[in-house]
Amino acid sequence: MAKATSKDILSLIEAEHRQVEQLFAEAEKADNKKLYECFNQIFKALTLHARTEELVFYPAMQEYEETKKYIEEAEKEHEEAKVILEEIKELKPGESEFQKKINELQKAVQHHVREEENKIFNAVRKCMNDEQLTNLGREFQETKAKLEPAVKAAMTE
Ligand SMILES: [Fe+2]
Ligand SMILES: [Fe+2]
């Protein structure tokens, strides 16, 4: 029986996806001043989420043929999102490009999240048992906590 405090990695990832969607929904309603603050939060949440997946989730997927085949495309999609994030970072919130680029990012993230939750999660559930998923959940949380200070520093560069 898993401890009450331990969560499996898939529910952690899912919860973060919902948080990011919430941030994008806020950005849609935001005025220019607030939009920049929203972007900062999106930048932090997405960067942290993607890096933690790359360090914990994708390496675990490497272990099974059925999950391994999804890694390359998932990493490519992370790379695409990172490029857009960096492009937005160069813009000022008042620029018309800002909202357009945020929409572009939202679409890319939405696509990636669907791929993960629909295809990848199913494959992972077939290959890994509850204990593995809970252990990975712990590792996911620990790794994320370690990465957080560096990601915060990168935002204020
Ligand atoms: Fe991902
Ligand atoms: Fe994800």
Q: How far is CA 153 from CA 35, 41, 87, 95, in A?
A: 20, 13, 18, 24
Instruction: Tell me which residue has tokens 């495309």.
Output: 73
CATH entry 1.20.120.520 includes domain 9-155: yes
Report CA(114)–ligand 2 centroid distance (Å). Answer: 9
Per-residue confidence (pLDDT) for residue 156, from 0 to 100? 61
- Average pLDDT of span 24-46: 92
Ligand found nearest the CA of 140:
2
Do 47 and 151 touch, CB atoms closer than 8 A? yes
Q: How far is the CA of 4 from the centre of ligand 2 (A)?
A: 23
Taking the C-alpha atoms of residue 42 and residue 22, their distance in angstroms, rounded to an integer, is 10
- Span from the CA of 13 to the centroid of ligand 2 (angstroms): 6
pTM: 0.93
Residue 82 has pLDDT above 90, yes or no: yes
Residues 119-157 pLDDT 10s: 999 999 999 999 999 999 999 999 999 999 998 887 765
Rounded Cα–Cα distance for residues 58 and 93 (Å): 34
